[in-house]
Chains A and B, each alone.
Chain A
Amino acid sequence: MTDELIRAIALADTPARMVAAVQNLAATKDVAAIPTLIAVFGYNNPTAAAVAALALTELGELAVPQLLEQIDDYNYGARAYSIRTLAAIADPRALDALINAATTDFAPSVRRAAAKGLGNLHWQKLGFPESQTAPLRALEALLHISQDSEWSIRYAAVVGLQALAKIPDLQHPIRARLEYMLASDTEKAVRARVLLAQSQ
């Protein structure tokens, strides 16, 4: 049954048929659909990609290994969907991929999705000592990109830092950086987002 629905995606010859085919496959919630759903990210069909991303997010941890393996290094649109989905699932095995995307990707959409995701991973799923060291690595990456020249990257870094501040040990450096950004950032929008983070 799933095989048939996967074939229907290959046969879809209009954007609307593609969306319908992806919806049908997504409804199965079958792990066998995972590689095909990830491949949909590369079809340049935003509606279909959104359906696939939601389905993969609902599959959760089961989809993480293949999401990590199938990150498309040559298509930044597809890569942004992969990173956004990994961020939404929040499995901490995605840490390295998110750090890599946030700090080295050339595409702002990918970097912003990764920055937001770095604040929200489920650290408690890691064993000791990773559960302690992993958030520190996320913090380091976010502090680094909070100095980026592009305002939307700094904005996303603030969103990530705000979420990461739920960890008591990290509150001090995060507060210090937010104070610094509030005093020095040239963009009103970024300063406003800092104030919102500080008020949470």
Chain B
Amino acid sequence: MIEPSAEEYAAENAPPLTPEQAIANLQSLDLGLRYYAAWWLGKFQVSQPAAVDALIAALEDEADITELGGYPLRRNAARALGKLGDRRAIPGLIKCLECSDFYVREAAAQSLEMLRATTAAPALMQLLDGGVAVAVQVPGRPHLIQPYEAVLEALGAIGATEAIHLIEPFLEHSVPRVQCAAARAMYQLTQDPAYGERLVKILDDNDLKLRRVALGDLGAIGYMAAADAIANAKAENSFKLIALKGLLEYQLPEEFDAFCIADDAIRVMNLMDSLL
């Protein structure tokens, strides 16, 4: 479910921007400039209110439409808003969950997760309507009918325990990545180690990409019992370091000093050191 991101062509070929120019470019007659500006504001985390306002407005853009009915500017605006941390974006993003464009819905779910938008739970749950039975591939497209991975992850991250009964069946979905997302959410919502262990098991899978997904999930849920399995997984050190960083962060209170670094935190850091 990956489409080419702006990142691939941006940096070198594009004109250098300032935040003011980027905000102004969101209204440019050149649709390419609008698309790039939305990506740029997220990438460089320009969180000033004018940028957020302009991006929220871009969630309703009607000018930039692909032959397949996609909304490229809306996608980039939705992605950027997740990175800017301004909760004013939440209602607009919730509305995007009903957009006809799959990628807009996916970006909105991901950004609502990043914003920890608890109010998004009902709208996210609606995307699970029909359950696993209807969660099939769209003919001719490289994605399922809904962005299930992003939806399940978001529901887990925002603590939507009311969604447990909807999430659990997705543990048996035919797409392994969806199973991972369900296990991740179920762990977050129940703290039952059985779901963490499902992800640990995937670290032994033959598919490297799936092992990377599981590493990301274990880091995101801070499943401490996986520390050694993560360090020994057959994957690049960069992925393992990110996963262990996630575990470490769960071991650290908001404010901490040398005296309150737990033994578990030190254990994780020793593993990280060994992967440098």
Interface, chain A (partner B; CB < 8 A) = 46, 108-109, 112-113, 115-116, 151-152, 155-156, 159, 187-189, 191-193, 195-196, 198-199
Contact of B248 with A by CB under 8 A: yes
Contact of B83 with A by CB under 8 A: no
Would A113 and B256 count as touching, CB distance under 8 A?
A: no
Q: How far is the CA of A191 from the CA of B139 in the complex (A)?
A: 49
> What is the minimal beta-carbon distance from B170 to any residue of chain A, in angstroms?
31
Contact of B261 with A by CB under 8 A: yes
The answer to whether residues A195 and B258 also contact, given A159-B276, A188-B252, A189-B248 and a CB cut-off of 8 A, is yes
Would A196 and B252 count as touching, CB distance under 8 A?
A: no
Would A46 and B256 count as touching, CB distance under 8 A?
A: no
Give B218-276 interface residues, CB cut-off 8 Å to A.
Answer: 234, 236-238, 241-242, 245, 248-249, 252, 256-258, 261, 265-266, 269, 272-273, 276
Nearest residue, chain A, Cβ from B235? A46
Q: Which of B238, B258, B266, B269 contacts A152 (CB 8 A)?
A: B238
Would B248 and A116 count as touching, CB distance under 8 A?
A: no
* B252 / chain A contacts, CB cutoff of 8 Å: 188-189, 192
* A155 / chain B contacts, CB cutoff of 8 Å: 241, 272, 276
Nearest residue, chain B, Cβ from A150? B238
Q: How far is the CA of A166 from the CA of B247 in the complex (A)?
A: 29
Q: Can you list 20 A-B pairs with a CB-CB distance of less than 8 A?
A: A46-B234, A109-B238, A113-B276, A115-B276, A151-B245, A152-B242, A155-B241, A155-B272, A156-B276, A159-B273, A188-B248, A189-B245, A189-B248, A191-B256, A192-B252, A192-B265, A195-B261, A196-B258, A196-B261, A196-B266
Would B237 and A109 count as touching, CB distance under 8 A?
A: yes
* B266 / chain A contacts, CB cutoff of 8 Å: 196
Q: How far is the CA of A109 from the CA of B276 in the complex (A)?
A: 7
Would A193 and B234 count as touching, CB distance under 8 A?
A: no
Q: How far is the CA of A159 from the CA of B269 in the complex (A)?
A: 10
> What is the minimal beta-carbon distance from B247 to any residue of chain A, in angstroms?
10
Interface size on B, residues (CB 8 A): 20
* A198 / chain B contacts, CB cutoff of 8 Å: 258
| Top 5 A-B pairs, shortest CB-CB distance | A116-B276, A112-B276, A195-B258, A189-B245, A199-B258
> What is the minimal beta-carbon distance from A21 to any residue of chain B, in angstroms?
20
* B237 / chain A contacts, CB cutoff of 8 Å: 109, 112
> What is the minimal beta-carbon distance from A193 to any residue of chain B, in angstroms?
6
The answer to whether residues A189 and B238 also contact, given A159-B276, A196-B266, A198-B258 and a CB cut-off of 8 A, is no
Nearest residue, chain B, Cβ from A152? B241
* A199 / chain B contacts, CB cutoff of 8 Å: 258, 261
Nearest residue, chain A, Cβ from B254? A188
Would A196 and B269 count as touching, CB distance under 8 A?
A: yes
Would B276 and A192 count as touching, CB distance under 8 A?
A: no
Would B269 and A192 count as touching, CB distance under 8 A?
A: yes
Q: How far is the CA of A109 from the CA of B272 in the complex (A)?
A: 12
> What is the minimal beta-carbon distance from A165 to any residue of chain B, in angstroms?
15
Q: Which of A112, A152, A192 contacts B256 (CB 8 A)?
A: A192
Q: How far is the CA of A191 from the CA of B260 in the complex (A)?
A: 13
Nearest residue, chain A, Cβ from B260? A195
* B258 / chain A contacts, CB cutoff of 8 Å: 195-196, 198-199
Would A116 and B234 count as touching, CB distance under 8 A?
A: no
> What is the minimal beta-carbon distance from B251 to any residue of chain A, in angstroms?
8
Nearest residue, chain B, Cβ from A190? B245
Q: How far is the CA of A116 from the CA of B236 in the complex (A)?
A: 17
Would A193 and B238 count as touching, CB distance under 8 A?
A: no
Q: Which of B241, B245, B249, B256 contacts A195 (CB 8 A)?
A: B256
Q: How far is the CA of A116 from the CA of B258 in the complex (A)?
A: 22
Q: How far is the CA of A192 from the CA of B272 in the complex (A)?
A: 12
Would A108 and B269 count as touching, CB distance under 8 A?
A: no
> What is the minimal beta-carbon distance from B11 to any residue of chain A, in angstroms?
13
* B234 / chain A contacts, CB cutoff of 8 Å: 46
Nearest residue, chain B, Cβ from A111? B276
Nearest residue, chain B, Cβ from A107? B238
Would B245 and A193 count as touching, CB distance under 8 A?
A: no
